[in-house]
Amino acid sequence: MDDNKLTIIYDGEEVMADILFTHYSEQTEKNYVVFQFSDRDEVSAAVFVETENGEGYFEDVQTDEEWEMLDELLQNYLGDDQDDEDAQDDEDESDED
């Protein structure tokens, strides 16, 4: 099993998702998982609740404040990812010279 993938029941069907990143918020004292569905561009998030046996389950994100925090983190993540791609493109172009 790939540690960066998860299976989610979405609209009554099992769908695969790629984990983009995880985040622990000291403010809410919750662990979040931000993921993208493998078969579409849709990104979502959930709260991961760890159980005593080290496993866990997902709960819905509850508040607008949590969604705003996660959206800001996602924008930073996507910006960093884009910056990495731009830097690699610049390196590739300079290698061609």
Q: Are 51 and 59 in contact (CB under 8 A)?
A: no
pTM of the model: 0.74
The kind and range of the H/E element at 18 are: strand 13-25
Over the stretch 40-84, which tens digit does the pLDDT of each residue have? 889 999 999 999 988 889 999 999 999 999 999 999 998 976 555
Nearest CA to 45 out of 30, 60, 27 is that of 60
9 lies in which domain range? 5-96
Pairing label, strands 30-37, 13-25: antiparallel
pLDDT at 11 over 50: yes
Q: How many domains are contained in the chain?
A: 1
Statement: residue 2 has pLDDT above 80: no
Bridge partners of residue 44, in order along the sequence? 35
Output the six-digit token pair for 96: 């061609």
Phi and psi angles of residue 30, each rounded to the nearest 5 degrees, phi first: -130, 155
Q: For residue 69, what pLDDT is reported? A: 97
The predicted structure's pLDDT at residue 87 = 52
**CB contact at 8 A, 61 and 32:** yes
